Structure 1
Amino acid sequence: MTTTPEVITESRDPATTDQQQLPSATLGADTKGSVEQITLALFIGVPFLALLAAIPFAWGWGMSWLDLGLMTGMYFLGCHGITVGFHRHFTHGSFKAKRPLRIALAIAGSMAVEGPIVRWVADHRRHHKFSDAEGDPHSPWRYGETVPALLKGLFWAHMGWMFDEEQTPQHKYAPDLIKDPAIRAVSKQFVLWTTVSLLLPPLVGGLVTMSWWGAFTAFFWGSLVRVALLHHVTWSINSICHAVGKRPFKSRDKSGNVWWLAVLSCGESWHNLHHADPTSARHGVLRWQLDSSARLIRWFEQLGWATDVRWPSEDRIASRRKEGVAEAA
């Protein structure tokens, strides 16, 4: 099994000989053209409009238990695909995964509709290399620390950065994934897995209710609203968790813990510990800090599907704690 490095720190230009020898790539180049930007705007805008319409829609027509179940199940499938798969396994190498699990996590993360896996990982490794400093692709402190600058920076960190024409060089920041044929294939198949993700709820809803209306409501809640909610929760880790929150651990950036995002983010909002110890398989290390991603990794380990899990020891946690900060921080 291959453990991905925590962060690629090479300063070589991506056009060097070694990188040119890597297979040519995955879906999405290192620059983002107008067609891709328009497509991105649609994938962000349409689910967001559905999210805005969710309350009046529920008031007028209601939400069935089937719709709720499909929305919840698809939400946490994609969320854990991102947190356990894209983030803790592929980006930081927090554990090794048996081949079937590794591929399943890549597919589950792709179904969150947050972009091809290689691009996602490359962006996040670059974020850690330059966290809240020049070179960070999505720091909310990009424009300064005044209130107007921070408001502008929060929008940039939340979603504006995705429309930047210049993208993170994938060959530089994720060469290990490009070299993996299966992961490279999943990355190229992003449109396929997006289609599966969006069509699965209406297929189930239509077959269970045997009606087009059941298919439509399942698509509205299980596809559109679910994708919009997951997008904005994930993006909030980039924006909100780098602007506010408690910081009981030593890190070189402004990452903070935001408790009210913990359940919806599957444990990712315990962001201060993550930046203090990026390869840790558990982010919620203090008392009462819920981290469903860590629990899922523990189950994978118990089943023998995950090995070499980097669980944080008490000494490791203590070494990263700020002096004078109590455990309940």
Structure 2
Amino acid sequence: MTSTASPAEAGTEEQQPGGTPAATMGGDRKGSVEQFALLAFIVVPFAALLAAVPLAWGWGLSWLDLGLMVFFYFLGCHGITIGFHRYFTHGSFKAKRWVRVTLAIAGSMAVEGPVVRWVADHRKHHKFSDAEGDPHSPWRYGETLPALMKGLWWAHLGWMFDEEQTPQHKYAPDLVKDPAIRRVSRQFALWTLVSLLTPPLVGGLVTWSWWGAFTAFFWGSLVRVALLHHVTWSINSICHAVGKRPFRSRDRSGNVWWLAVLSCGESWHNLHHADPTSARHGVERGQIDSSARIIRWMELAGWVHDVRWPSAERIRSRRRDKAAEPA
């Protein structure tokens, strides 16, 4: 179901040349303030993650903190995997309007950038996967070990500090034209604050103490965001450098089993690049894919429909010739 802006709303929208709506928050170029904010969101949570181990030994961690960290981790992770990725980027299913907006908000709470920019970058990645034009291929600098090490750094997080090259009106015109999704994208700073401040609010109210609020912020906000960031970035870097490749794809995407639970099924990356619109990435026996399971539950509840589940024939048609399987 598509929507159009009301005359009043349309009258207040900024316009691009040619009459198309203005870009959402997170335009086609990054300013110095945004670069600084990006650096802060990488360095500060990562520093918190490094401090997590000594803090966990003896003080500063409660079952409440752990529960908040796990809950908000998987809320944001599934917002990215189900919402930003499988739904908005690839159209793996259709959703009711309230589900569409909810997925956009949940993905925004992962603190990985505005939804429209995220989708535009990822669609460009698929168009040029592991070739010239890919925003974050680990093979960018070549195939020697030093080149790959440099490329892994680039694919993991270095690419985010480059000037933005993905035009949103070209790669995500459907989202730019959607007033509700454009609004959520512009409200990214708001949803970031909600994501970071809700855990300490809950921790403080439950324990009725500032210390409870502090530890909830440390574990439920900083450590959680850092861990989710690095797991997500590992799909760009590690899953395009190593892993098994049982399916035919035109890139080097691989399956990395030990990331499956933390990535909510995204690390079954080879099948995804062999069949990008599939709602399930873990299609073989024992491959955990919590995102696909939740999509199935939403389908049974009537919240989503026209889900692109891969049939056995569809999976078989994408298998790599066993004789050509790399050693």
Alignment of 1:276 onto 2:274: yes
Question: Within 1, Cα distance between the matches of 2:100 and 2:29?
Answer: 28
Write the deviation string for residues 15-74 of structure 1: whole angstroms up to 9, x where unpaired.
Answer: 996xx3221021022111222111100011100000000001111414100000000000
1:42 alignment partner, SS class: helix
- Asked if the contact 1:32/1:167 (under 8 Å) is kept, the reply is no
Among residues 243, 261, 264, which one is paired with 1:263 in the alignment? 261
Alignment of 1:13-28 (within 5 A): 20-28=18-26
| Map of 1:153 onto structure 2 | 151
Q: How many residues align?
A: 313
Equivalents in 2 of 1:84, 1:93: separation in Å?
10
> How far has the Cα of 1:324 moved from its partner?
2.1
* 1:102 to 2:100 alignment: yes
Correspondence for 1:308:
306
Match of 1:5 in 2: none
Aligned counterparts of 1:21 and 1:169: Cα–Cα separation in 2: 16
Q: Helix, strand or coil for the counterpart of 2:232? A: helix
Structure 1: distance between partners of 2:322 and 2:137: 28
Query: Which runs of at least 4 in structure 1 moved beyond 3 Å after TM superposition?
Result: none
Amino acid at match of 1:112: A
Cα distance in structure 2, aligned partners of 1:16 and 1:189: 20
Query: What do residues 139-160 of structure 1 show as CA deviations (whole Å, max 9, x unaligned)?
Result: 0000000000000000000000
Query: Is residue 68 of structure 2 the alignment partner of residue 70 of structure 1?
Result: yes
In the aligned structure 2, how far is the partner of 1:80 from the partner of 1:272? 19
CA shift, 1:167, in A, is: 2.8
Aligned to 2:164: 166
2:152 maps to amino acid: L
Q: Map Cα deviations across residues 99-151 of structure 1 (whole Å, 9 max, x no partner).
A: 01100000000000000000000000000000000000000000000000000
Residue equivalent to 2:126:
128
Q: Alignment identity in percent?
A: 81
- Tell whether the 8 Å contact from 2:60 to 2:215 is kept in structure 1 after alignment: no
> C-alpha separation between the residues in 1 aligned to 2:38 and 2:141?
24
Q: Is the 8 A contact 2:16 2:22 kept in 1?
A: no
1:280-314: CA deviation from partner (whole Å, max 9, x where unpaired): 00000001000000000000000000000000000
- 1:30 aligned to which of 10, 28, 42: 28
Asked whether the 8 Å contact 1:247–1:256 carries over to 2, the reply is: yes
Structure 1: how far apart are the matches of 2:74 and 2:55?
23
TM-score (norm 1): 0.93
TM-score, length of structure 2 as denominator length: 0.94
- Name whichever of 72-81 and 157-166 sits farther off: 157-166
Q: Tell me, yes or no, if the aligned pair for 2:155 and 2:237 is still in contact at 8 Å.
A: yes
Runs of 5+ consecutive residues of structure 2 not aligned to the other structure: 3-14
Q: Counterpart of 1:61 in 2: which secondary structure?
A: coil
Distance between the aligned counterparts of 1:165 and 1:100, measured in 2? 34
1:114, 1:35 → 2: CA distance?
16
